[in-house]
Amino acid sequence: MHTTIALVISTLVLSAYAQSDSITLSGGASETTQSPTATGADYATSGTTYADESSVLTITGSTDYATISDLSSIFATSNGTATSISSHRGNETTSSPTQTLLVGSARTTTSLNGTAATNGTASSTSTSAQPTNTVPCNGHPALCNRKFSNITHVGAHNSPFVRPGNIAANQELDVETQLNDGIRMLQFQAHLQNDTIYLCHTSCDLLNVGTLEDYLTTVARWLRGHPYDVIAILIGNYDVINPMNFTAPVTNSGLIDFVYTPPTQPMPLESWPTLAEMIFRNTRAVVMLDYEANQTAIPWLLDEFSQMWETPFSPTDRDFPCTPQRPPDQERPVRQNRMFMANHNLNLEVAAAGLSIDVPFFTLLNETNADQGYGSAAAAVANCTTMWDRPPTFLLVDYYNIGNFNGSVFQSAADANGVPYDRASCCGTAGTTNDGNPLHTIADLRWYLAIFMVVYWTSTS
């Protein structure tokens, strides 16, 4: 009992410290102030291996998207309107509205801050007159004929970890709200406890938000209700366990109805299908595992680092260098032909209950998630675009709803994609004030701390 209360107290104290601009270290003859520069790993660091890039695995039974040469014959009727797409699971049926779907457009190149090209549209597949698209794929009609690998998707770092006042929380709004607001990558850690996969941050004693199956059930339900949306799910195999442990949660949740199976491992940029193709086949969930994936045994559970690389994880440097970290020792030409994820969540390393954990740097969220300025999401996208001649495929952020305006990270992604963004569309209201700042301020935490201190001393007296 005392241990649990002490853990709660230390969590609250460290959460308050994490929202300060600096940490005051006591001890010795004087106190010193240290800027947040240390880093703690937020992923498995031992027993990990990377796939051999020298060989290509051909996956049988996957969809040959190359045979889909003219989407107008699939999505559009003779009068230029789209046919309805139905998704079936059990006795449930959901149908999309009848609308017109994009079937081809000319390739365009635009500049980003006058330095490098943004994501371009897909090449035209026909010279004949094409119907006008009105269907928003992932929120925008212009993205329907764009390859999945040729879009910047905003990702929620540690998406399930929503718990006000907890040091291990990284988001403020639940996963359904995240998806409604435009999050298209869900990233998180998974831990095996008593033969069940739970979603925990570093340790299940620190933050446990429930089972992977329950979380994926919510995601699958959302996908059934949104037939024109494609998402990615990135699972951190923190315990480096056998990948077969992940099949039951995906199957039992219903997510298996939507999983995408690639034709090869690894996947070059041009091998990815367009959003329209994935929507037509209803393979709208790209599920990846960072370590121990075996696509020979489980073709739809993709090996993350065969598909993409990452910039430094849980970064503490406000410059956010777009240099590769994982996988290591990969040649530049290989990286240029893979998707990549920019980890754009500024962190501070703290210790709690004998654990080292990275926590969001709260006081800089409005700048870190901004669409302009030093250390902003927009600056990170521009830097990556300059270094790699294309924007990042995924932009991973903490507290996506907070910025220089609510949802400013989506503006940065929209600019990279060359599409407009409706600022009024974001964000969910739970847990935020009118100015977009977190409700769990230092004052709130001190109040909770005072309450728990009373409980603690009462229990020990």
In angstroms and rounded to an integer, the radius of gyration of the C-alpha atoms of the chain is 23
Q: Pick from 290, 278, 269: which is nearest to 396 by CA?
A: 290
Token duo for residue 90: 């059990």
Q: Pick from 340, 342, 318, 372: which is nearest to 113 by CA?
A: 372
CA dist 80 and 222 (Å) reads 28
Which one is catalytic: 140, 153, 157, 344? 157
SS3 355: strand
- E strands, 26-66, are 32-34, 57-58
CA dist 188 and 77 (Å) reads 41
Query: DSSP secondary structure string, 186-236?
Result: EEEEEEEETTEEEEEESEEEEEEEEEHHHHHHHHHHHHHH-TT--EEEEEE
SS3 140: strand
- E strands, 85-179, are 86-89, 92-95, 111-112, 116-117, 153-156
Token duo for residue 350: 């703290």
CA dist 25 and 357 (Å) reads 18
Residue 281: CB partners within 8 Å, gap ≥ 6?
Answer: 63, 65, 273
Which one is catalytic: 140, 191, 201, 344? 201
**CA distances for 131 relative to 75, 78, 80, 192, 276, angstroms:** 10, 10, 5, 50, 14
SS3 445: helix
* Residue 157 annotated as catalytic: yes
Query: DSSP secondary structure string, 365-418?
Result: HHHHT-SSSTT-HHHHHHHHHHHHSS--SEEEESSTT-SSSTTHHHHHHHHHHT
What residue type is 450 in one-letter code? Answer: A
SS3 161: coil
Token duo for residue 414: 């929209």
Which amino acids are annotated catalytic?
157, 201
